[in-house]
Amino acid sequence: MTNTTENANLCGLKREDFQTTINGKKTDLYILRNRKGFEVAITNYGGAICAIMVPDKNGNVANVIQGHDNIQSVINSPEPFLSTLIGRYGNRICKGQFTLNGKEYQLAINNGPNALHGGPTGFHARVWDAKQMGPRALALHRVSSYGEEGFTGEVDVTVEFTFTDQNELVLEYLATTNKKTIVNFTHHGFFCLAGTANPTPTINDLQCEINADFYIPIDETSIPTGEIRKVAGTPFDFRTAKPVGQDIDANDEQIKNGAGYDHCFVLNKQEEGELSFAAKIKDPNSGRTMEVYTTEPGVQVYSDNWADGYKGYHGATFGRRSAICFECQHFPDTPNRPYFPSVILRPGQQYKQKTIYKFNVEK
314 and 278 within one domain: yes
Residue 163 lies in a domain: yes
Question: Which ranges constitute the DSSP H helices of 8-132?
Answer: 71-75
Residue 190 lies in a domain: no
214 and 145 within one domain: no
If phi over 0 gives left and psi between -120 and 50 gives alpha, with beta otherwise, what is residue 283? beta
Whether residue 94 contacts residue 222, with contact meaning beta carbons closer than 8 Å, is answered with: no
Residue 93 lies in a domain: no
Catalytic residue ranges: 188, 327
Decide if pLDDT at 27 tops 80. Answer: yes
Q: How much of the chain exceeds pLDDT 90, in percent?
A: 98
Q: Give the domain CATH number at 283.
A: 2.70.98.10
The pTM of this model reads 0.97
Question: 140-167 pLDDT, tens per residue?
Answer: 999 999 999 999 999 999 999 999 999 9
pLDDT the model gives residue 209: 98
Average pLDDT (217-232) is 98
354 and 269 within one domain: yes
333 and 281 within one domain: yes
Residue 295 lies in a domain: yes
Average pLDDT (37-45) is 98
Question: 287-337 pLDDT, tens per residue?
Answer: 999 999 999 999 999 999 999 999 999 999 999 999 999 999 999 999 999
248 and 132 within one domain: no
234 and 150 within one domain: no
205 and 135 within one domain: no
Confidence of residue 227 (pLDDT cuts 50, 70, 90): very high
Confidence of residue 363 (pLDDT cuts 50, 70, 90): confident
- Distance, CA of 116 to CA of 158 (rounded, Å): 21
Domain carrying residue 169? 3-86+120-182
If phi over 0 gives left and psi between -120 and 50 gives alpha, with beta otherwise, what is residue 354? beta
Confidence of residue 5 (pLDDT cuts 50, 70, 90): very low
Q: How much of the chain exceeds pLDDT 70, in percent?
A: 98
214 and 70 within one domain: no
Spatial CA neighbour of 65 closest among 36, 47, 41, 34: 41
pLDDT the model gives residue 25: 98
Average pLDDT (255-275) is 98
Decide if pLDDT at 2 tops 90. Answer: no
315 and 343 within one domain: yes
Question: 50-87 pLDDT, tens per residue?
Answer: 999 999 999 999 999 999 999 999 999 999 999 999 99
Whether residue 71 contacts residue 18, with contact meaning beta carbons closer than 8 Å, is answered with: yes
How many structural domains is the chain composed of? 2
Confidence of residue 8 (pLDDT cuts 50, 70, 90): confident
How far is residue 232 from each of residues 219, 229, 235, 237, measured CA to CA in Å?
A: 20, 9, 8, 6
302 and 253 within one domain: yes
Decide if pLDDT at 7 tops 70. Answer: no
Decide if pLDDT at 136 tops 50. Answer: yes
Residue 270 lies in a domain: yes
259 and 153 within one domain: no
Residue 17 lies in a domain: yes
